[in-house]
Structure 1
Amino acid sequence: MAEKKHRLVSVPLLSVICSMLYVYCSTVFIFLDEWLGIGTASGILNAIIFSWLAFMTFFSFFVAVLTDPGSVPPFFAPAVEDARHDSGDAVYCEKCCSYKPPRTHHCRVCKRCVLKMDHHCIWINTCVGYKNYKSFVIFALHASLGSCYAMVIFVSNLMQKEHDFGIVSAKLFYALSGLVILSASLSSTSLFCWHVYLLAHNMTTIEYRGAQKDRWLANRSGQKYRHPFDLGFFQNLILIFGPNMLKWFCPTAVGHLGDGTQFPISND
């Protein structure tokens, strides 16, 4: 519990929380109210939709922050034949003085090995790994939808409502709001699109970087590179989100996850 509370004490993480609160409050109580009126039917409908996106963004964000990304099980030991391989199989971590399963990497920030590590994210103050990857992707999805929705409301308010920009404070407020919303839209959308690509190939960010040489060699020889863990788009989605599609967008529905030490490999 103490470790989870410690994760919340981070300047980048707190800046994300403050930015999300700023975007939500300014969008609903100022831009939407000025544009449609918060008490009208259309205003209420837009407020409900945007509030749901904001709730899912906050919820999945905190789930990703507070969920342990995945630690190597105690006394983990690979099969003898696996320990001899150096590509995709278990290897020995000199820093942890223990074997690590396939797709596991040592994080120099967290100072431990993380199962199926994607990257260390300063914005959630922990690693994105096997156990919290689903919630991280759901966060990126709703953050991109919510910020783009906020941008539509912001621009619509500017175009369809007359404003008195003679006041310097009003200019600064709208300029700051536009900058924050635009930055949130671009960053969250690009983040989500990147992880959609990784999901489609069942690949982590670390594995993508490591496979650049193999990809170049395959293209040079006229062949198409395929990641060894790529089982096909739909199967890749099931591995991350689970077999029950009704639970795909629930960040806490991770009962389908195993211990994170073994992963199916493509037969192609």
Structure 2
Amino acid sequence: MPILGFNPTTTTTTTTMQKPGGGGGGGSIMAWNVFRFCTGLRALGSIMIVFVLGMVGLTYYVVVIANYGPALFHGGVESLSAFFALLLFHFLLVMLLWSYFTTVLTDPGGIPANWQPSKDEESGETGLLVGSGQNGADPGLRGGPADSRTRFCRKCNQLKPPRCHHCSICGRCILKMDHHCVWVVNCVGALNYKYFLLLLFYTFLETALVSFLLLRLFIVFFTDDGEVSGTPGTLIATVITFVLNLSFALSILGFLIMHIVLVLANTTTIEAFEKKTNPRWRFDVGRKKNFEQVFGMDKRYWFLPAYSEDDLRCMPVLQGFEYPTRPDSVEL
């Protein structure tokens, strides 16, 4: 099972250099873009999908076909334990693949053409326009009376909703962008962040389960305590699968913990680098409400890569355009 790393690349930086001896306007200017490899990352993403499916196929072969599948016919306690192991394995695999392809196929959220911020009901004003800084930080956020400014993206030449960032890899602004993930060939934003979190969750559970199921075989393989049946190819595949799944489980656990902390604080990976801790983040409206802004209010859907119709209808925050702020929040 693959690790789902992140790469919060959101801005494009251009540096100009003048050749020695070139004075005034007669010099030769050379511009270079440090994110010119973005096109390559798009191509790499397609390869990653094949790699993910390959890892799933290898794991399925080792666990189901080579080891626990045949154990179903041994009878007794061994058959019963193999049955429950395979049942849990297939359940987690289905949830993992469901979450994965939902993350891949769901648009993270873009800005509609001619989008305009909602007007203040009292003043009828939409606020001042504030351009993005050169370093990619967004100084203006429209969040309420204490902060009525509206941001503007110079790259897309359009207004930007709150918490929206420009992705250099996708070439457009993404609603509540967290990062661009090559493993899912997609940005992780407002509309698919929940699916990405569930992907991390189920991938960790699946890889941890596979590591546990293959641990005994791995130990026996390197000791003289017993013999392991199977062809040399099967034994090598089992060892490789155990090592990869254990490595990915430990790595994904770190990402999962990090994103849980971000969700409870109602921030994203990008915002964690931009904002600061004192005063308190103005979009932090309490852990329960922060959690619901990502997973919805319907508990039946919390662990499913989907939202209930009631949540989609009654929670505008799930659409990625407007976010409530703390009453005592101040502009950061």
Give the 3 Å change call, closer, same or farther, for CA 130–71 of structure 1 in structure 2. same
Task: Identify unmatched segments of 5+ residues in structure 2.
Answer: 1-41, 74-78, 120-125, 132-138, 143-149
Structure with the higher fraction of residues in helix conformation: 1
Q: Is residue 2:143 matched to residue 1:83?
A: no
Task: Identify unmatched segments of 5+ residues in structure 1.
Answer: 1-5, 219-224
Give the 3 Å change call, closer, same or farther, for CA 66–146 of structure 1 in structure 2. same
Letter in 2 for 1:242: G
Question: What is the distance in 1 between the residues matched to 2:154 and 2:269?
Answer: 22
How many equivalent pairs are there? 251
Give the alignment partner of residue 153 of structure 2, picking from 84, 93, 99.
Answer: 93
User: Alpha-carbon deviation of 1:9?
Assistant: 7.0
Question: What is the distance in 2 between the residues matched to 1:7 and 1:124?
Answer: 12
SS at match of 1:261: coil
TM-score with structure 2 setting the length: 0.69
Give the 3 Å change call, closer, same or farther, for CA 8–252 of structure 1 in structure 2. farther
Give the 3 Å change call, closer, same or farther, for CA 144–33 of structure 1 in structure 2. same
How is 1:9-158 mapped onto 2 (pairs within 5 angstroms)? 10-33=46-69, 37-39=71-73, 40-78=79-117, 79=119, 80-81=126-127, 83-84=129-130, 86-89=139-142, 90-158=150-218
Q: 1:77-108: CA deviations, max 9, x gaps?
A: 23532535933333111111100101101110
Bigger Rg, structure 1 or 2: 2
Give the 3 Å change call, closer, same or farther, for CA 12–177 of structure 1 in structure 2. same
Q: Is residue 2:292 matched to residue 1:238?
A: yes
Q: CA contact under 8 A between 2:165 and 2:173: conserved in structure 1?
A: yes
User: Alpha-carbon deviation of 1:171?
Assistant: 5.6
Q: CA contact under 8 A between 2:210 and 2:242: conserved in structure 1?
A: no
SS at match of 2:110: coil
User: Alpha-carbon deviation of 1:250?
Assistant: 1.5
User: Alpha-carbon deviation of 1:8?
Assistant: 11
Q: CA contact under 8 A between 1:118 and 1:128: conserved in structure 2?
A: yes
Question: What is the distance in 2 between the residues matched to 1:58 and 1:167?
Answer: 29
Q: Is residue 2:281 matched to residue 1:227?
A: yes
Question: What is the distance in 1 between the residues matched to 2:170 and 2:246?
Answer: 32
Q: CA RMSD in A?
A: 2.6
Letter in 1 for 2:281: H
How is 1:153-232 mapped onto 2 (pairs within 5 angstroms)? 153-159=213-219, 162-164=226-228, 169=233, 172-211=236-275, 214-215=276-277, 218=278, 225-232=279-286
Q: 1:20-67: CA deviations, max 9, x gaps?
A: 222233122334347xx2341221111111110010000110000000
Q: CA contact under 8 A between 1:69 and 1:114: conserved in structure 2?
A: yes
TM-score with structure 1 setting the length: 0.84
Structure with the higher fraction of residues in strand conformation: 2
Letter in 2 for 1:10: S
User: Alpha-carbon deviation of 1:152?
Assistant: 0.5
Question: What is the distance in 1 between the residues matched to 2:59 and 2:128?
Answer: 50
Over the matched positions of the two proteins, sequence identity in percent amounts to 29
Question: What is the distance in 2 between the residues matched to 1:112 and 1:232?
Answer: 31
Of the structure 1 ranges 55-64 and 12-21, higher mean CA displacement relative to structure 2 is found in 12-21
SS at match of 2:127: helix
Q: CA contact under 8 A between 2:175 and 2:190: conserved in structure 1?
A: yes
Q: 1:178-224: CA deviations, max 9, x gaps?
A: 2221222123222221211111111110001112xx33xx4xxxxxx
Give the alignment partner of residue 321 of structure 2, picking from 245, 261, 265.
Answer: 261
Question: What is the distance in 1 between the residues matched to 2:140 and 2:208?
Answer: 41
Question: What is the distance in 2 between the residues matched to 1:12 and 1:265?
Answer: 38
Question: What is the distance in 1 between the residues matched to 2:129 and 2:226?
Answer: 69
Question: What is the distance in 1 between the residues matched to 2:166 and 2:218?
Answer: 48
